[in-house]
Amino acid sequence: MDDLFGEEPVGDDYLNFYTDEGEIRKRSINKAVSYLTNDIQSLVSEISVGIKDVESAICKLPDNIIIDLYSTIHLPFVKSTKKHVDIIAFFREETEFSRNFKTLHRKLLDYLGVLNNLYEDGRPAMSDIEYDVFKNLIFRIEDLASDDLKEFYDAVGARPSEKFEKVRHAVPMLSLDNAFSDDDVEDFAKRVKRFLKLPEAAPLRLTAEPKIDGLSLSLRYENRKLIYAATRGDGAVGENVTANARTISDVPDRLPEGAPDVFEVRGEVYMTKADFAALNVAQEAAGKQTYVNPRNTAAGSLRQLDASITKARPLKFFAYAWGEVSDMPADTQSGMVEKLKGYGFSINPLMAVFDDVSALIAHYHKIELGRAELEYDIDGVVYKVDDLSLQQRLGFVSRSPRWAIAHKFPAEKAVTILKAIDIQVGRTGAHTPVARLEPVTVGGVVVTNATLHNAEEIERLGIMIGDTVTVQRAGDVIPQVLGYVPEKRSNSVEPFNFPTHCSCPLKTELVQEDKATGEAGVIRRCTGEFACPFQRKEHLKLFVGRKAFDIDGLGDKQIEYFYDLPDDDPLQIRTPADIFKLQENDQKDELRKLKNREGFGETSAAKLFAAIHEKKSIPLDRLIFGLGIRHVGQTTAKTLAKGYESWGAFEKAALAIANGDMVARGEMEALDDVGPAVLEAVERFFGEEHNLDMVKALVEQLTPQDAEKPKSDSAYAGKTIVFTGSLERMSRDEAKAMAERLGAKASGSVSSKTDLLVAGPGAGSKLKKAQELGIEVIDEDEWFERVANA
């Protein structure tokens, strides 16, 4: 599908993902997500997830993976002349397309490793439901892939971190397959019986125990002494956390007489809700950042390089399984767990044994109803065949045992009162409604706020202030309101009227931008830009950011500090111009000099002043981008800078457009990458008096550099050049800038319009395509030689 990228779109299903500069078009990514949502829901239908969960999972993926999914899954399916209704049947039959899953599969597995590492670090990037969608998509692709895919990845855990010594598990620590419904559990029992050739009516003894939401740990004892403790890692190799594990009171250093000589005890490290709450109270009192939830905190605590930090955290350990054992002390799962208890380990008191699947499922629902009262977080119930000889016969599939399954809980829900609806204002002026709730515990987390997205969502839900509402929280994502409980609606409820003006002092009228279809968008925005105090701080962060002024030593944290200083503080920063007056203002109060403030010193203050002074001379495109005009990104800022060449010319044109000058509007519209959205944004920005005051004060402090005129007489003027592979003598941005100075157009994709490809080590598909199209290819050294002579 390489020919799709960099070419003009053909039809609704053909998306052009890249600009000529090689940057990804977010609009195309958003369209790809919408197309893929139905496809992927069909592919993972066996886990019974909602369309919103699928869409949310796709949105969490990197852009390059979304593009690969779109080109490998969506396009072949919609292009099929056979018009299959079932996407799974299509790829089973059309193996010429499923054969392409091999490369896609590898990329998805690589990203799964990234997700697992983040999870093991206590920083999950996806909710549990989103993760299940992604993992099951990988399993489905494995299933549909052609015979070319010989080696399936055992997706059982995170890759070991480089921070710890590696430990190879004597017996791999595999993950469990998941069940998402009662029917799934019944199917599991039937599969086990079929495999064992047992009659369908035959009893099957199964254990059931809560699935602790913690971090898996393996403890190896030799001659009854703890030798090492290791995390699961990638299932085969984990991380040595022995020193940290010894600080957990539930982990005995020695086992009593009678325990096997070699015994790998496995279980889960966790933190109770009460201990977690107390830890956060202590963190807050010390002025430190609080933690998100017990699971992440427990994982992060166990994987500290300093064992004293782990010791200070109240971690606990439930034992429930084993790896290598020299002499099995029992012949059933339940018997082994009882032995673990006898050896001094804590086991879960809710573990039970059942001969009937219906009783097993009833126990699951009993635990589900009482989970909020448990002192620890759980995310399901695990079932295992009790007879160890049957477990031996059942064995394993590629990534999990046949004799066990995890029955996951659905997204957590709770009922509470909607006390109020507040409006939050973002950097771009977007007004987002937030539900203020009577505090309610959902999944071990006290929820007081939930997102309502926009005015249309409030109308769709039909909720009113004072309603009893249902709230859902899946994993660590922001809670959402699902709707109100009709039978509990009282006569005292009040409708919420979405504001028509921003609540900032300017009271700017909110606008709804039109979609490409001409319909009004759902987001309401304040157009006050820098004049709106709610937007100003976020604008300042953009202004000092890497793509704009890139002031060394002045990042988000420093902007927060300077912005929040009291009004009488001479070093308060509220506008971009204040940044360039910082050194001057530092002289106004001897007692409040920057060098005397906490976090700064004489050297760091001097370096900051020098870094700010250096940026007073700024390239025109960085200045335009730094203004934070909506829809004017880095690429458009460069286009405007090239088109007008100087700040004076650009400002004159922008003011003319704001005053309704159609000639000036037409001239700007004639520039590449400038469309109606950019024109409207420029008109609004320069039509706001407060913005004009801000810009005037800023430019008085600066010396804007004119845009460098590209050579018109070079051999590369008007040519399209693509850079690929690892460039060793220059960055990709430097390479593009060099080409543009020679009058060339630097593109991010190869097409028939490409004139030259500069290929560094590791060049792949772009090099291959250039060779197929007969495009000239040179290396980096030759490029520098040519530039020197240009």
Q: Which residues are annotated as a binding site?
A: 128-132, 175-176, 209, 232, 268, 384, 408, 502, 504, 526, 532
Task: Give the Cα separation of 680 and 521 in Å (integer).
Answer: 15
Structure tokens at 677: 């959205």
Instruction: State the number of CA atoms in the 13 A half-sphere of 568 facing the CB.
Output: 0
Cβ count within 10 A of residue 223: 12
Extract the tokens encoding 235.
Answer: 């299932």
Residues facing 24 on adjacent strands: 18
Q: Please, which residues have CB within 8 angstroms of residue 21's CB and are 6 or more apart in sequence?
A: 635, 638, 736, 746, 747, 748
Backbone φ, ψ for residue 429 (5° rounding): 85, 0
Contacts of 352 (CB under 8 A, 6+ apart): 207, 208, 209, 363
Residue in this structure with the two tokens 């009993």, named with its chain if needed: 366
∠ Cα 110 111 115 (to 5°): 125
Cα three-residue angle 121-122-128, rounded to 5 degrees? 115
Distance between alpha carbon 188 and the CA centroid of its chain, in Å?
A: 33
**Out of 60, 135, 211, 615, which one is annotated catalytic?**
211
CA distance 779 to 758: 5
Token output for 457: 């969502």
Angle at 514 between CA 510 and CA 516, to 5 degrees: 160
Give yes or no for a contact between 60 and 127, defined as CB atoms under 8 angstroms apart: no
* Three-state secondary structure call for residue 3: helix
Q: What DSSP character marks residue 100?
A: T
Cα 32 to Cα 579: distance, rounded to the nearest angstrom: 41
What tokens were used for 621?
A: 């495109």
Tokens 């010791």, located at residue: 311
Q: Which helix (H) or strand (E) holds 582?
A: helix 582-586
Q: At what angle do helices 556-563 and 533-544 cross, to 10 degrees?
A: 140
Query: Is 115 within 8 Å of 157 (Cβ atoms)?
Result: no
CB count, 10 Å around CB of 287? 6
DSSP β-bridge partners for residue 473: 412
Whole-angstrom Cα distance, residue 747 to residue 754?
Answer: 8
**CB neighbours of residue 758 within 10 Å:** 24
Element containing residue 210 per DSSP (H, E): strand 206-212
Name beta bridge partners: 225. Answer: 222, 254
What whole-number distance in Å separates Cα of residue 721 and Cα of residue 750? 9
Q: Which amino acid is residue 591, in one-letter code?
A: L
CB 356 within 8 A of CB 204: no
Q: What angle do CA 144, 150, 154 make, to 5 degrees?
A: 85
- How many residues comprise the chain? 790
Place of tokens 């937030």: 434
At 286, the amino acid letter reads A
CB 91 within 8 A of CB 264: no
The distance between the two most distant Cα atoms of the chain, rounded to a whole number of Å, is 93
Rounded to the nearest 5 percent, the helix, strand and coil shares of the chain are 40, 20, 40
> Could you tell me whether strands 756-759 and 720-724 are parallel, antiparallel, or unpaired per DSSP bridges?
parallel
Residue 211 falls in the annotated catalytic set: yes
How far from 367 is each of 179, 337, 496, CA to CA, in Å?
Answer: 16, 19, 38
Question: Which tokens belong to 717?
Answer: 């003027």
Looking at residue 744, its amino acid is A
Q: What residues act catalytically? A: 211
